[in-house]
Amino acid sequence: ENIPIPVFSKDTAGRYLVCNSAYLEYFGITADEIHNADTFSLHPPELAQFYHDKDDELFLTGQHQTYETKLRDGRGELRHGIVHKALLTDSDGITTGLVGAILDITERHRAEEENKKLQAQLQQAQKMEAIGTLAGGIAHDFNNILGAILGYAEMVRDDSPPGSTTAHDLDQILQAGNRAKELVKQILAFSRQAESEKIAVQPAIIL
């Protein structure tokens, strides 16, 4: 009775013999309700069948049981618990029932689930960091190539007659190259390898 976790015992027919106050409080039942009651009269059907099957398994094998299961407490909340059960025997060693105790591990279970979520988020962040590092490396190499293209295009443009077809074509190359440079800046910003520049804009003009 002084044990703070739910403790119970049943006979070989599956009827409750006795339980402590912690058990009654946990499941929101009274001592009168549990008298001669069985698993199916106290617990939801989908859970009661599992409890009943585990009881039968204990009586069949005689081996101590420790297993994790879901529990529906007196407030209707679905919780998680670890159940420990063993046989009850008389002085002649004849099985008269079973005794069990329940350890509520709902908070630990929630902490483990939260930890799994955090681990998944960390893995995703590491993937994004790896992608950013890869993108940054590619962008740097691409930037070097662009530098050569733009540099030589500008020199040829300076040597081309104004208004000529060659000068016009080189202008198009330089325009595309500068757009590529802006794209490289965005990639480097994504990889956090470049300082992002804040530019004031006037939304009214854009609108």
Q: Distance between CA atoms of 53 and 43, rounded to whole angstroms? A: 14
Convert the pLDDT of each residue in 104-121 to its tens digit.
Answer: 999 988 888 889 999 999
**Which structure tokens are listed for 108?**
């630990």
**What separation, in Å, do the N-terminal and C-terminal C-alpha atoms of the chain show?**
75
**Which structure tokens are listed for 30?**
């009274």
Buried b (16+ CB within 10 A) or exposed e, 70-106: ebbbeeeeebbbebebebeeeeeeeeebbebbbebee
Instruction: Identify the pLDDT of residue 196.
Output: 63
Q: Who has greater pLDDT, 43 or 35?
A: 43
Phi/psi at 197 (nearest 5 deg)?
-95, 130
Convert the pLDDT of each residue in 65-75 to its tens digit.
Answer: 999 999 999 88
Packed helices 165-190 and 106-159: angle between N→C axes, nearest 10 degrees = 160
Closest CA to 176 of 198, 196, 194, 149: 149
**Which structure tokens are listed for 101?**
């105790």
Instruction: Identify the pLDDT of residue 35.
Output: 83
**Which structure tokens are listed for 183?**
């794209």
Mean pLDDT of 9-15: 94
Convert the pLDDT of each residue in 53-93 to its tens digit.
Answer: 999 999 999 999 999 999 999 888 999 999 999 999 999 98
Q: Identify whether the C-beta of residue 17 lies closer than 8 Å to the C-beta of residue 9.
A: yes
